């Protein structure tokens, strides 16, 4: 679950309570600690962070070992990295590629056994070991009434809707777009700094790894990744990871490169500029901007029409490969 939602756990100092932060909450946190007065000097700098590559694969397990249809990749524009690595090798299985028709509706198949037909025509079922799946529940409304029943009890009834499985937003490419785009803020232009910081015992007691740290001398915001060998008050070596943080506290009306508008069921984008390498997609929120999701389908032409919602939805535009927000936010009402 931590992998699916890009979560980092932080334990409370005085209890067994844990807070789980998304990458956006961690990398765009308004709670910034100013360490400018504690900064002594920078001792080292590198441009590779973590065990990442230019193409980082996130993979499911499959009943067919050669399959990869629900895998995804995190692409990093950093030539200092290796070409390709597998960063997530999940123990969760993906549903089968071929679907089944039920009631009638196409549904995913979550395989738990193999069917074997013996020479005499009898059928046996062999259980498959350690098959774990993720799925969602989706209430499906049928176009016309459907009859269901029991041959054993000789009863039947008519239904107009029923809960079905759904694999919506569970393919790894969707997971990357919804939860991992903030990683580009530290990986595309990786900068890992070793610095000497003057720390005392109270600093260590109050340390909070969930906050960002500002150092004016380096003109940057950082994640505090490590405090190395602190023993007593004095100069301590720390490892800092640069973050492309945008402080919006004093910028209530940011300037964007495009303007998004909505009229008569159609979105307009002015000016409309999209590239194959980094296309434009919708970024939308159902909870008034607390959580955001990114559509995996690029916008190819404008006006973009045919959208309707059952609840108020916030829309904005985002660059698919970098996660850069490029437009104002608008609200589309039912």
Strand partners, 53: 82
Q: What value does the mean pLDDT take over residues 53-69?
A: 93
pLDDT for position 252? 45
Task: Give residue 315's domain range.
Answer: 253-332
Position 255 scores a pLDDT of 64
What is the model's pLDDT at position 247?
58
Q: Which of the four pLDDT bands, split at 50, 70 and 90, describes residue 251?
A: very low
Q: What is the token pair recorded at 131?
A: 């098959």
- Whether 121 shows a pLDDT value over 90: the answer reads no
Q: Is the pLDDT of residue 294 over 60?
A: yes
Per residue in 187-202, pLDDT (tens digit) is: 877 899 999 999 999 9
Closest CA to 56 of 27, 78, 25, 24: 78
Q: How confident is the model at residue 250 (pLDDT cuts 50, 70, 90)?
A: very low
Residue 169: partners with Cβ closer than 8 Å, 6 or more residues away: 136, 175, 178, 293
pLDDT at 142: 84
User: How far, in Å, CA of 196 to CA of 272, rounded?
Assistant: 47
Residue 191 falls within a domain, yes or no? no
Report the C-alpha gap between 153 and 173 in whole angstroms.
45
Position 101 pLDDT exceeds 70: yes
pLDDT of residue 5: 86
- Summary mean pLDDT of the chain: 87
Half-sphere exposure of 5 (CA within 13 A, CB side): 12
Note whether residue 297 is domain-resident.
Answer: yes
Per-residue confidence at 31, pLDDT binned at 50, 70, 90?
confident
16 contact partners, CB below 8 Å, separation of at least 6: none
Q: Which of 120-134, 288-302, 307-321 has the highest mean pLDDT?
A: 120-134
Q: Name which residue leads in pLDDT, 236 or 333.
A: 236
Lookup: tokens for 313: 């939805």
Residues 6+ apart with CB under 8 A from 96: 63, 108, 109, 110, 111
* 238: number of Cβ within 10 Å: 22
CATH number reported for the structural domain that contains residue 268 in this entry: 2.60.40
- Classify 60 as helix, strand or coil: strand
Q: What would the mean pLDDT of 70-77 be, rounded to a whole number? A: 89
pLDDT tens readout for residues 142-172 = 888 889 999 888 899 999 888 999 898 899 9
Domain count, the chain: 1
pLDDT at residue 184 above 70?
yes
* Residue closest to 296 by CA, chosen among 173, 185, 184: 173
């Amino acid at each position: 679950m931590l992998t699916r939602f890009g979560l980092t756990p932080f334990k409370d100092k005085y209890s067994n309570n844990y807070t789980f932060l998304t990458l956006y909450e961690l990398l765009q946190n308004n709670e910034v600690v100013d360490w400018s007065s504690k900064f002594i000097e920078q001792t080292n700098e590198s441009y590779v962070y973590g065990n990442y590559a230019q193409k980082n694969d996130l993979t499911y397990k499959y009943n067919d070992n050669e399959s990869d249809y629900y895998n995804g990749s995190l692409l990093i524009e950093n030539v200092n990295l290796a070409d390709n690595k597998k960063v997530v090798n999940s123990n969760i299985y993906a549903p089968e590629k071929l679907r089944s028709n039920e009631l009638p509706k196409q549904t995913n198949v979550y395989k738990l056994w193999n069917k074997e037909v013996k020479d005499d025509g009898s059928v046996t079922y062999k259980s498959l070991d350690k098959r774990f799946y993720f799925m969602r529940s989706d209430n499906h409304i049928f176009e016309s009434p459907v009859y269901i029943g029991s041959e054993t009890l000789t009863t039947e009834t008519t239904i107009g809707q029923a809960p079905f499985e759904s694999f919506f937003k569970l393919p790894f490419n969707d997971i990357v777009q919804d939860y991992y785009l903030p990683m580009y803020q530290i990986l595309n232009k990786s900068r890992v700094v070793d610095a000497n910081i003057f720390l005392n015992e109270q600093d260590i007691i109050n340390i909070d790894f969930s906050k960002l740290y500002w150092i004016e001398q380096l003109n940057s915001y950082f994640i505090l990744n490590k405090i190395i060998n602190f023993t007593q008050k004095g100069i301590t070596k720390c490892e800092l990871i640069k973050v492309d943080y945008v402080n919006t506290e004093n910028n209530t009306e940011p300037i964007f490169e495009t303007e998004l508008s909505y009229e008569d069921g159609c979105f307009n984008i002015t000016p409309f500029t999209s590239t194959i390498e980094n296309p434009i997609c919708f970024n939308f929120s159902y909870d008034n901007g607390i959580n955001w999701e990114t559509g995996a389908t690029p916008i190819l032409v404008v006006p973009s029409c045919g959208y309707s919602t059952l609840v108020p939805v916030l829309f904005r535009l985002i660059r698919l490969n970098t996660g850069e927000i490029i437009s104002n936010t608008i609200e589309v009402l039912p």
